[in-house]
Amino acid sequence: MQSIEVDEKTAQTLHSLADAKGVTVRVYLSQIVSQQASALQVSEQGDFDNDLASLSFESSPPLPADFSRDDIYSDHD
C-alpha cells in the first residue's frame, strides 16, 4: 500500500467528498485515479494529434540547405 501526505485542509476536503459519496477516502481516491487513468488513455492519442496539427510549419521560413549543428550553437562555444 502506498501513502501520500497532504495538508490538513486537503485532508478535510477529501474526507468531506468521500463522506458525501458514502465511501472511505481510500475508495474515493481509488475511484478518482481510475477515472482519470481511463480518460487519459482515451484522450491521449487525440490530444497528441491535435497538438501536432496545431503546429504551423508553413509560417516558418525554410532552413538553408547547408544548415548544421554550428548554426544551432552559434551563440556559444
In a domain, 29, yes or no: yes
Residue 42 CA to residue 36 CA, distance in Å, equals: 10
Please tell me which of 13-22, 40-49, 60-69 the model is most confident about, judged by mean pLDDT. Answer: 13-22
Contact between 24 and 18 under an 8 Å Cβ cutoff? The reply is yes
22: phi > 0 → left, psi -120 to 50 → alpha, else beta; which? left
Amino acid 40: pLDDT: 67
The more confident residue out of 43 and 73 is 73
Q: Could you tell me which residue, 36 or 57, shows the higher pLDDT?
A: 36
Residue 19, in any domain of the structure: yes
Residue 9 has pLDDT above 90, yes or no: yes
| Number of domains forming the structure of the chain | 1
What pLDDT does residue 48 have? 72
Does 75 fall in a domain?
A: no
69 against 13, higher pLDDT: 13
Is the distance from CB of 11 to CB of 18 less than 8 angstroms?
Answer: no
pLDDT score for 16:
94
